[in-house]
Structure 1
Amino acid sequence: MNPPLIFVLNGPNLNLLGTRQPEIYGAETLDDIEALCAETADALDLAIDFRQSNVEGELISWVQEARNHAAGIIINPAGYSHTSVALMDALLASDLPVVEVHLSNIHRRESFRHLSYVSRAAQGVICGLGPHGYALALRGIAGILAQSEQD
């Protein structure tokens, strides 16, 4: 039997990690985070599909795709956290467990970053722990899936 597939979706500007504001986002690249996710998923007997887009509509299409192909979604919506009702709606319609991840602590930043529409669709939110937050999100999704199998 194939391991459960988790979509790990990354929003705008995350392709610039490692060079964009390292004092906020750290020195790790998105490739580094993907490698961490692959290693963590393997240890948890999960499979991942790791993607990044700067385009809101593409992220929404991937969420809709996940509905038919994945067991859960981990999403770092980046700037779309604070603006995209459409992304929130797609996540809610997915009927999948969702964990939202942010590298920085959005609650210690500018006030407009304190609101995340995506959080309304998430079972959990991890912020401020850098790339380690992705590994924690995978552990969280694994726990959610294990619990749903028991119910």
Structure 2
Amino acid sequence: MIRPMIAVLNGPNLNMLGMRQPEIYGHATLDDLEQVCIQTAERLDVAIDFRQTNIEGELVSWIQECRGRARGIVINPAAYGHTSIALLDALLATGLPTVEVHISNIHRRDAFRHHTYTSQAAIGVICGFGVRGYALALQALYDMIEDEDEQ
């Protein structure tokens, strides 16, 4: 049996984790975050495709590539979530269940961070749990995939 694949896509500045505002984002690095995702995926017996980019168009292309390849998407659009209708449109076009993740609690921060366009395409949003939010997102998508496969 082929393991289902979940794309884990990360937007701008996440390559700076551990260095950029650790009082907000913590001390975990992008490599640490990837390890959290790998360990969670192994426990769930799913494959992941973990990526990070600072380029909006590249993120749009990666989302589009998920159609027909992935069973779901975990996305941390970072600042693009607050500004990008292109990401929203790409997520909607895939027809895939998507969970949006933010390391910090965006609702306890600047008012402009309280709204994300991309959340309109998400089945759920997880924020404020640090890198552990990714494990929660992967678990949620796994549960949805299992439910779908049982029907």
Cα offset for 1:69?
1.0
Counterpart in the other structure of 1:13: 13
Counterpart in the other structure of 2:51: 51
Counterpart in the other structure of 1:39: 39
What is the TM-score when the length of structure 2 is the normalising length? Answer: 0.98
What is the root-mean-square deviation in Å for CA atoms of aligned residues? 0.6
Counterpart in the other structure of 2:87: 87
Equivalent position SS for 2:104: coil
Within-5 A mapping of 1:104-123: 104-123=104-123
What is the TM-score when the length of structure 1 is the normalising length? Answer: 0.98
Deviating beyond 2 angstroms after TM superposition, the runs of 4 or more aligned structure 1 residues are none
Equivalent position SS for 1:69: coil
**Counterpart residue identity of residue 84, structure 1:** S
**Counterpart residue identity of residue 113, structure 2:** R
Q: Which runs of 5+ in 1 are unaligned?
A: none
Aligned equivalents of 1:148 and 1:4: distance in 2? 12
**Counterpart residue identity of residue 102, structure 1:** H
Equivalent position SS for 1:7: strand
Q: Which runs of 5+ in 2 are unaligned?
A: none
**Counterpart residue identity of residue 34, structure 1:** E
Aligned equivalents of 1:55 and 1:125: distance in 2? 22
How many residues are aligned here? 151
Deviations 1:31-75 (A, max 9, x none): 001001000001001100000000000000000001121111000
Deviations 1:57-113 (A, max 9, x none): 000000000112111100000000100001001001101110000000000000000
Counterpart in the other structure of 2:143: 143
